[in-house]
Each structure stands twice: as structure tokens, then as C-alpha cells.
Amino acid sequence: MTDYILALDQGTTSSRAILFDRTGRLCASASQEFPQHFPQPGWVEHDPDDIWNSQLAVARQVLREAHVAAHQVAAIGIANQRETTVIWERATGRPIAPAIVWQDRRTADACEALRAAGKAAMICERTGLELDSYFSATKLAWLLDRVPGARTRAAAGELCFGTVDSWLAYKLCGAHVTDVGNASRTMLFNIHLLRWDADLLALFDIPAALLPEVVPSCGNVGMTHADLFGAPIALAGIAGDQQAATFGQACHHSGMVKNTYGTGCFMLMHAGAQPAVSHNRLLSTVGWRLHTETCYLLEGSVFMGGATVQWLRDGLGIIRQSSDVEPLAASVPDSGGVLLVPAFVGLGAPQWDPYARGTIVGLTRGSTAAHIARAAVEAIAYQSAQLLQAMQKDARVPVAEVRADGGAARNDMLMQFQADLLGVPVLRPKVTETTALGAAYLAGLTVGFWASQEEIAAQWRCERRFDPAMNADRRAALLARWGRAVERAQAWEQPL
């Protein structure tokens, strides 16, 4: 009898492994941070081996500490940081260069050149994405151009490209695959035809031999190598972290919205069985594919969410650990007029400005560390409020509620301020590890651990509901002031 699903939640700053039972209850978890590398301003890198080694370590740890053997695990599901770009040798599995992380802005000028050449509209029409260095295509092209011999070896089929899901699948079971949702984040994938786009490959000069096979999010990928966990386990589900969180939040019907408060913040709306068209610079992306049914999502991306709190900890040193931010921020009644725009790696939706930089405005002699901490927390909510404003303009129906998850969703002050700015209730589920839960659900559906999406949706439970307590005039005034602060952060750096 198999009693558990093992979810591997590979994030931007840490790798996590969680065991879930048939009720969707979190039974055991383990987490491990791994190093971040910033070789130049605007550059963000990971060592792919750090990603793999930390993920394998926590998977083994959670099984060991829960006293669960491999034969008790029905399947493994992967959720992963998206867009991060890895190239490795097909024969040896050795990376040929550091992974370029989704936050990295080194290819902003390449994107500007493509925009000047009139390519942005075609890219958006086929991929649903803004032309931006956030996505994998220009990162991949940069690596092929900079690593000696890489382009020749790629054309010869000696190298593999993948986002982090592909890297983990290759290390787990030797499969070179990606699911449709992750593929749709590369800027190389046609979301209408659900295949790699030959014109885009030519535009970015990407050899097709480098690309992974695109598979459904829910399906058997392969069996893990026996020596990893003591016995093979089926790898049966793959989804990018935000798609997985949307699925884990049981946003299975059009119009349902979730917002994840992780390293970044990502608000996604279920858009139905056809790609949505945004007129407000949101992204249209593939959510998941279950057998023959494809779900599409409308997405807004904020690059600095919880990472802003990490900056308070690691950069400024005004808190010792991330959990200290809430009591420090709550020690003052408001931010004292301070606004922090955390454009440390540019701005995502709806501005899409890679040349914006972090800005603090409204400082006075009375400003303290507590005011800056409060401004940092409130910045997370302000950025997400901009996303919902854009989303409601694009949506056919009003948004009734937002389901919140991610580490920062445990911050009650943030959640209440978020509800106040959104003007709609924010619901926090009992299980906030919805990214891992979504990966588990996809894998479990594949192997029959759960019978249907309806069974999964019935397991969703609200832990706390945050209702708006701010009047409309106050909300409008705060958002207008935030807009002024964002204007001051934009276009700070100049294109080369």
C-alpha cells in the first residue's frame, strides 16, 4: 500500500521536499537554502549542482525523518522555479556553465534590440509573453554565445537545455523533458500549437537538438534511479511553481485567482481552455495539461516579494531572520510616509522595465528601521495590487476573492493590508505550501492516488479570511502615491 506522494519544491532560494497523504495533509517536510551568486550588478546565478544536491538531500531527509521507505511513496511530483536556464552535457550530466536565474537582467539590451527590430508583437502573439530578459530564450542564447564551443556542441546534440524541472528530471531518471507549462515560459514555445516554434528558434538561433521533449503536466515521465532512494519511484507530475500553486489552490475554474508570496509575487487567474489576450501587459501562459485537456492562465509577475525581506536581513542587517520583519513593522502604526520600490532587478508587470532600480522615497529625520521594514512589507502588497488592477481590466467577470499562499502569506499584517488595497477578500488556506501540494496533486492524479480534480478541490480549506477594512478614497490615494514612487524608480539605468 502506498501512503504518500513526495513533492519536490525547487525554489529560487531553497529546495524543499514535502510528503502528503491522501487527505492532502502535510505529513513531513525538509528545506535547505543554497547559495545565490551575483557576479555583476543585475546578474543572478545558481550552481546547477547546488540545486540538485540540495533537492536530493531534502528528499532523502524527509523520507528518513518520517521513517517512510521508497515503496510507500506512490509518486514524485516536481514544482520548480521557472525560466531559470541550465545547459548540461547529455552524456555526463555535467553543467557547462552556471544557471542563469529568472531574476537575471543581463540580456535586457538584447531584448531592446529585438524590440527595435519590431519582433515584440510576433513574440507576444505566439508565446503570450512580453519581450523581456525574464524569460529563458535570451538567457539560453547568451550562454550559447559565451561558452566556448557550446553552439557547435548543441547543434550536434551533445548538450541539453532545460529549465529547472528538466534538470531535476534528468538527474532523477535520465529523461530530458519539460511540461507544457514550463515550456511556455521559455519564449520559444507556441502556446496555440503547443510545440516549439521554428521561427522563434531561428530568431534566437537556438538549435532544436538542444530542447527537451514537451510532456503533459500530469503523466508518467519515468522511474527514478534505484540508488537515489533505495528503490525506484515514479516521477509522475511536473509543473512550474506558479502553475503548481494555482492547481494546489484548487483554482480549477475560470475567474479564480491566487497570489503566491514567495521570492517574487505571482498572481494567476484561471482563463479557461483558450489562451487569454491581455491588453494591460499581463502574460498569457499555459497552466497545465491533464491528458488531452489544456488549461490557460493570465499572470502578473512581481520580481521582488519575499526577496525584499531577505534584503532587509542580508543587505541592511536590520533584522536577524525573515520572521522578525512582522513585529518590527508592526511596532509603528504606519510607514511614516516612507515608500520602498524594490526594483532591485527591474520591474515586472505591468511596467516591464528592466532599467528600473530600487528606490526609497519619503524619508525624513524621523524615519527609522521600523518604518523601512513596514514600507518593505507594504511594497509587496502595493505591487500585487497593481497586478489585480490590470487583471480586473482584462477579465470578463469581477474577481470575487484572492487565495494567498507562499511564505509571506503567513504575515497577518501583510495579508490585511493586501485585502485593504485589493478591495476584495484575501483567503489563506490551511495548507500554505500549495506549490508543493499542486505538484503532489498532479503526480497523484497520474497514478490514481486521487481520483479527480473534484476530490482535490474538496480538500481545500480556508484557515483565515482577511476582509477589506479600508474605504475606497483612502485606497485610491495610497495607490496613486505608490504610482508616483514607481515613476521615480523607472528608467534609472540607461540601455548600453
For the annotated binding site, the residues are 12-14, 16, 82-83, 134, 241-242, 263, 306, 310, 407, 411
Grid cell digits, residue 403: 487565495
For the annotated binding site for ATP, the residues are 12-14, 263, 306, 310, 407
Any idea what the Cα angle at residue 162 is, between residues 159 and 168, rounded to 5°?
A: 105
Peptide bond into 350 cis (omega under 30): yes
User: Quick check: 90 and 99 in contact, CB under 8 A?
Assistant: no
Q: What is the largest CA-CA distance in the chain?
A: 65
Annotated binding site for glycerol: 82-83, 134, 241-242
Known binding residues for ADP: 12, 16, 263, 306, 407, 411
The amino acid occupying position 434 is: T
Answer whether 266's CB lies under 8 Å from 306's CB. Answer: no
Instruction: Tell me the C-alpha to C-alpha distance, in Å, between residue 487 and each of 362, 377, 400, 421.
Output: 14, 19, 30, 19
Rg of the chain over CA atoms, in angstroms? 21
339, 379 Cβ separation under 8 angstroms: yes
Cβ(21)–Cβ(3) under 8 Å? yes
Annotated binding site for sn-glycerol 3-phosphate: 12, 82-83, 134, 241
Q: How far apart are CA 450 and CA 23, in angstroms?
A: 9
